[in-house]
């Protein structure tokens, strides 16, 4: 059985106080209107192009988690991703645009919104809120393959003295070579390849946005939801994730390399002891939470707002709201398939006593109905 030692638990937490932004993470960091901005790499290096980027947790999860912070009016310029890119708005108001010229569509999203941007399209975003804003980001796969900047961004960046090395796509400061040989530089995407990119309408993109009014909550999403301490609500956003409600469907369902869902619980409630074979991250949106490892609550860590914790595959874990109000956590699980939960024997026994169990397909059902099977 995989376990977490007390000395390991805190190392798996990235607290808000641990956030270290890089102001020179990308080729556009000197373009007027694109500074100051800060890139964060909480789990994995993401798509940062800077050797100065601080990475809080290097361990491979099957996905990367990062962040972006910019003052009002600052823009992150048009670029293309090969793997999934999901934005989770924790503060401010953000306007996203897409297309190689940024004119195919535009959508503005506020706090609590989640946007999954399709792969292989150019996208950019601007902080259009009144104050500094913050976006958490989740990128698919361990190796994202980096990004491709629009030809216009590459041209503007070179005018500021920045380019990308063809060998590794890292930043090259053309003004600081001081007699060194100029490396081969990365060239823009050929126009014939740009012409083949799929176009996305506003209607297409809106279907990939999940706002508060789009959330569909299940009040009995998992087996432990029928028990004290396990009562919660779950809203699937991307992928099926850990839901055991046979009627629950995600809003966005194409493969991302991870699943994402909001979990909401009152004080004293949450997720009882369970384990599974996928990597997982709990990211706190509201409230104060306690994560207990190993099934005995002998190793615990407390999380505040904007804190996240990484739970390795195979480790027993539970999650409890220890605050005074209803809290909300974003649950990110590293699989495109349903995550099959293994509940502690105590949870299974108590659920059966309450009249519930999992059917042969792994969904919550009454024991009286399950008993009718041939």
Q: Residue 67 corresponds to which tokens in the numbers above?
A: 């962040």
On whether the CB atoms of residues 315 and 278 are closer than 8 A, the answer is no
Q: What is the pLDDT of residue 295?
A: 81
Strand-pair partners of 137: 66, 87
Q: What is the pLDDT of residue 217?
A: 98
Reduce the secondary structure of the chain to three states and give it as a string. Answer: CECCCHHHHHHHEECHHHCCCECCCCCCCCCCCCCCCEEEEEECCCCCCCCCCCEEECCCCCEEEEEEEECCCCEEEEEEECCCEEEEEEECCEEEEECCCCCCEEEEECCCCEEEECCCCEEEEEECCCCCEEEEEEEECCCCCCEEECHHHHHHHHHCCEEEECCCCCEEEHHHCCCCCCCCECCCCCHHHHCCCCCCCHHHHHCCEECHHHCCEECCCCHHHHCCCCCCEEEEEECCCCCCCCCCCCCECCCCCCEEEEEEECCCCEEEEEECCCCEEEEEEECCEEEEECCCCCEEEEECCCCEEEECCCECEEEEECCCCCEEEEEEECCCCCCCCEECHHHHHHHHHCCEEECCCCCEEEHHHHCCCC
What phi and psi values does residue 7 have, to the nearest 5 degrees? -70, -20
The pLDDT tens digits along the chain (374 residues) read: 689 988 899 999 999 999 999 999 999 999 999 999 999 999 999 999 999 999 999 999 999 999 999 999 999 999 999 999 999 999 999 999 999 999 999 999 999 999 999 999 999 999 999 889 999 999 999 999 999 999 999 999 999 999 999 999 999 999 888 778 889 999 999 999 999 999 999 999 999 999 999 999 999 999 999 999 999 999 999 999 999 999 999 999 999 999 999 999 999 999 999 999 999 999 999 999 999 999 866 799 999 999 999 999 999 999 999 999 999 999 999 999 999 999 999 999 999 999 999 999 999 999 999 988 75
Q: What is the pLDDT of residue 231?
A: 98
Residues 266-303 pLDDT 10s: 999 999 999 999 999 999 999 999 999 998 667 999 99
Domain residue spans of the chain: 12-210, 215-370
Residue located via tokens 């956030």: 19
> Considering the domain 12-210 in this protein, what is its CATH number?
2.60.120.10
Q: Residue 268 corresponds to which tokens in the numbers above?
A: 């004293």
Q: Residue 190 corresponds to which tokens in the numbers above?
A: 């050929």
On whether the CB atoms of residues 309 and 291 are closer than 8 A, the answer is yes
Residues 130-182 pLDDT 10s: 889 999 999 999 999 999 999 999 999 999 999 999 999 999 999 888 778 88
Model-level pTM? 0.96
Q: What is the pLDDT of residue 2?
A: 85
CATH fold group of domain 215-370:
Jelly Rolls (2.60.120)
CB atoms within 10 A of CB 50: 18
What are the C-alpha distances in Å from 272 to residues 96, 181, 348?
38, 60, 11
- Please indicate whether the domains covering 12-210 and 215-370 agree at the CATH topology level: yes
Strand-pair partners of 341: none
Rounded Cα distance, 154 and 110, in Å:
29
Q: What is the pLDDT of residue 327?
A: 98
């Amino acid at each position: 059985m995989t376990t977490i030692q007390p000395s390991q638990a805190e190392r798996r937490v990235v607290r808000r106080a641990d956030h270290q932004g890089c102001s020179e993470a990308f080729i556009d960091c000197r373009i007027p209107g694109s500074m100051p901005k800060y890139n964060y790499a909480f789990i994995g290096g993401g798509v940062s192009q800077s050797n100065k980027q601080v990475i809080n947790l290097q361990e491979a999860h099957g996905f990367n988690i990062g962040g972006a912070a910019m003052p009002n009016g600052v823009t992150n310029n048009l670029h293309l991703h090969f793997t999934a890119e999901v934005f989770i708005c924790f503060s401010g108001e953000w306007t996203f645009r897409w297309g190689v010229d940024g004119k195919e569509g535009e959508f503005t999203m506020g706090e609590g919104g989640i946007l999954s941007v399709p792969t292989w399209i150019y996208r950019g975003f601007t902080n259009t809120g009144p104050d500094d804003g913050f976006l958490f980001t989740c990128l698919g796969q361990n190796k994202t393959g980096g990004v491709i900047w629009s030809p216009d961004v590459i041209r503007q960046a070179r005018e500021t003295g920045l380019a990308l090395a063809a060998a590794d796509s890292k930043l090259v400061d053309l003004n600081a070579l001081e007699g060194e040989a100029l490396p081969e530089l990365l060239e823009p995407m050929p126009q014939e390849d740009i012409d083949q990119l799929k176009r996305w309408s506003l209607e297409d993109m809106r279907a990939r946005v999940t706002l508060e009014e789009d959330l569909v909550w299940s009040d009995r999403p998992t087996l432990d939801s029928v028990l004290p301490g396990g009562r919660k609500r779950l809203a699937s956003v991307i992928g099926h994730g850990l839901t055991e409600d046979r009627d629950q469907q995600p809003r966005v369902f194409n493969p991302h390399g991870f699943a994402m869902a909001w979990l909401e619980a009152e004080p004293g409630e949450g997720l009882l002891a369970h384990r599974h074979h996928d990597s997982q991250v709990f990211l706190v949106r509201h409230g104060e939470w306690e994560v207990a490892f190993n099934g005995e609550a002998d190793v615990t860590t407390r999380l505040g707002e904007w804190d996240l914790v990484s739970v390795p595959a195979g480790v027993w874990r539970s999650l409890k709201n220890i605050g005074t109000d209803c809290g909300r956590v974003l649950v990110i699980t590293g699989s495109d398939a349903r995550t099959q939960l293994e509940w502690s024997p105590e949870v299974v026994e108590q659920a059966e006593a309450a009249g519930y169990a999992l059917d042969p397909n792994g969904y919550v059902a009454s024991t009286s109905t399950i008993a009718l099977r041939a």
